[in-house]
């Protein structure tokens, strides 16, 4: 989610003083110390996940019944689980899964949200009314209810998890984009563009869209944090990523018995900490981005 920091200034021609605004934004972001720390932590996590095959010494799924439930040691940095699998290897591979679930799910929801929101906001009238009712409907679907139902119909798998979370979490972004479009579409620069015959698609994406990039980025960042938590909740209910594929969520679920909570803390501290750290970092980055890009929003 760091890309947004490098959005070229050209994209903001609609606002008064483009260049200085971005420099200001960057300054504001850099002043948010928690966001900076979050960014560093997230980068390390992403790096570890990408390099998982290299940094993980053992296979994340191969078991070793002679080395079960071992506490952290020099051979197994984070110990082994109840079937002798190396926890460190599972953590880094699990990071791949959990972070990509977050990323893919939020990409899906952002994409749908932008398309529906901008069409509704730009077109207005009946189209807006119809699309907003659809949005209301998806919003009124209790997401957990839908996720459980869909996951048990399609069968629980990592792709379905991404898909389901993505498909059900777009209304927030759609509403945001629509709101912004509605307020911008009567402004001078849009009216001017329309009067010289610029096609609507171009107006939407060349003139209006750059104005909502900040808001959408902030919302998407929080959305990603949420998606990672959703994956964990789904795993808790047994509907998330399935064994033996590790994810932080299902590792934490597997540590649910109290004998593990009490006697084998390395089995829950590691995945628990990873989820909390990842979500916390992303949330801080989101908070920093909000201060930087969208200071007036209080979402």
Partner 1 sequence: MFNYILRRLLVSIPILIGITVIVFFIASQMPGDAVLAMISTDTPQAEDLVKLRRGQLGLDLPIYEQYGRWVGQLLHGNLGFSFQSGESVISVIAARLPATLELMGVALIIAIILGVFLGVVSALKQYSWLDYSFTFFGFAGISIPDFFLGMVLVYVFSIELGLLPSSGISTAGNAFSLSDNLRHLILPAFALGLARTASFMRYTRASVLEVMNNDYVRTARAKGLGERLVTTRHILRNALIPVVTVIGITLPTLFGGAVIIEVIFQWAGIGLMFINAVTGRDSPVIMGYVLLSAVIVLASNLITDIMYSVLDPRIRYD
Partner 2 sequence: MSSRRKSIFAMTGTAILATLLSMPITSSAQTAPGAESTIRQAFRTGCMAGPLWTTCGRRLDETVLQGLAHVNWTGNGVKALLAESWSSPDKGKTWIFKLRNGVKWHDGKPFTADDVVFSFNTYVDPAVASIYAPKLVDVKGYQDFRDGKATSLAGVTKVDASTVKIELVDVRPLWVELQQISISMLPKHLLGSIKPSELQQSPYWTQARVGTGPFKWTKYVPDQFIELARNDDYFLGKPKAERMIYRIFADIPSIMNALSTGEIDVMSYEGGGVPVSDIERMQKVPTLTVLPNLDAGLPTYLQFNFNHTHLKDARIRQAMVYAIDRDKIIASVKKGTGKISNTMFPAAWAQSPSLNPYKYDPAKAKQLLKDAGWDASRKVDFIYYYADQVNKDTVTAIQAYLAAVGVNIVPRLLNPAEIQVAYKDGTFEMGYFANGQGLDPSLGALTTTCGAQLAFTWCNKRVDELYNAGLSESAREKRAPSYQEISKILNEEMFRGWLWYEVRPMAFSKRVVGPAEHYSQMPNLIFDLPVYNEVEKWEVK
User: Which residues of the shown chain bind partner 1 in the complex (CB under 8 A)?
Assistant: 33-34, 133, 136-137, 139-146, 148-150, 152-153, 225, 229, 232-233, 236-237, 249, 252, 256, 258, 261-262, 268, 272, 275-276, 279-280, 283-284, 287, 298
Using the minimum distance from each CB to partner 1, give the nearer residue, 71 or 142. 142
Task: Count, in order, helices (H) and strands (E) of the chain.
Answer: 14, 0
152 touches partner 2 by CB under 8 A = yes
What residues from 37 to 76 belong to the interface with partner 2 (CB under 8 A)?
61-63, 65-66, 68
In whole angstroms, give the CA distance from residue 6 to residue 79: 40
238 touches partner 2 by CB under 8 A = yes
Considering just the CA atoms, what is the radius of gyration of the chain in Å?
A: 22
Q: From the CB of 218, what's the least distance to partner 1, in Å?
A: 12
Nearest one of 18, 22, 31 to 4, comparing CA atoms = 22
Q: From the CB of 66, what's the least distance to partner 1, in Å?
A: 30
> CA-CA distances (angstroms) from residue 294 to 5, 91, 290?
13, 35, 5
In whole angstroms, give the CA distance from residue 212 to residue 210: 5
Q: Which stretch binds partner 2 (CB under 8 A): 15-23, 36-44, 199-207, 260-268?
A: 260-268
Q: From the CB of 132, what's the least distance to partner 1, in Å?
A: 9
Using the minimum distance from each CB to partner 2, give the nearer residue, 183 or 256. 256
Residue 57's contacts (CB-CB under 8 Å, 6 or more residues apart) are: 86, 88, 89
DSSP 250-294: HHHHHT-SHHHHHH-THHHHHHHHHHHHHHHHHHHHHHHHHHHH-
Among 10, 186, 195, 262, binds partner 2 (CB under 8 A): 262
> What is the CB neighbour count within 10 angstroms for residue 209?
20
In whole angstroms, give the CA distance from residue 61 to residue 192: 61
Among 82, 100, 107, 143, binds partner 2 (CB under 8 A): 82
Query: Which entry of partner 2, partner 1, none binds 141, CB below 5 to 8 A by partner kind?
Result: partner 1
* Residues near partner 2, by CB under 8 A: 61-63, 65-66, 68, 82-83, 152, 156, 238, 242-244, 254, 256-260, 262-263
């Amino acid at each position: 989610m760091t890309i947004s920091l490098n959005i070229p200034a050209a994209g903001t021609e609609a606002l008064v003083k483009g260049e200085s605004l971005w420099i200001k934004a960057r300054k504001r972001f850099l002043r948010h110390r928690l966001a900076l720390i979050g960014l560093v932590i997230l980068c390390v996590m992403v790096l570890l996940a990408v390099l998982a095959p290299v940094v993980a010494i053992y296979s994340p799924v191969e078991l070793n019944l002679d080395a079960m439930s071992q506490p952290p040691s020099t051979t197994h940095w984070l110990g082994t689980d109840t079937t002798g699998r190396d926890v460190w290897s599972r953590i880094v591979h699990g990071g791949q899964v959990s972070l990509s679930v977050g990323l893919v799910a939020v990409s899906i929801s952002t994409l749908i949200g932008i398309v529906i929101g901008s069409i509704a906001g730009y077109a207005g009238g009946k189209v807006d009314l119809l699309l907003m009712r659809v949005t209301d409907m998806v919003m009124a679907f209790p997401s957990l209810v839908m996720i459980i139902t869909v996951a048990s119909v399609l069968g629980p798998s990592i792709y379905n998890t991404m898909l389901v979370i993505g498909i059900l979490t777009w209304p927030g972004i759609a509403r945001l984009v629509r709101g912004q479009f509605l307020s911008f579409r009567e402004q001078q620069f849009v009216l001017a563009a329309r009067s010289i015959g610029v096609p609507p698609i171009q107006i939407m994406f060349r003139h209006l869209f750059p104005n909502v990039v900040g808001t959408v980025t902030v919302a998407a960042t929080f959305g990603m944090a949420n998606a990672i938590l959703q994956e964990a909740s789904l795993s808790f209910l047994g509907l998330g990523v399935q064994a033996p594929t590790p994810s932080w969520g299902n590792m934490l679920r597997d540590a649910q018995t109290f004998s593990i909570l009490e006697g084998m803390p390395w089995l829950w501290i590691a995945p628990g900490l990873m989820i909390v750290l990842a979500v916390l970092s992303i949330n801080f980055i989101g908070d920093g981005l909000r201060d930087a890009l969208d200071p007036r929003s209080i979402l």
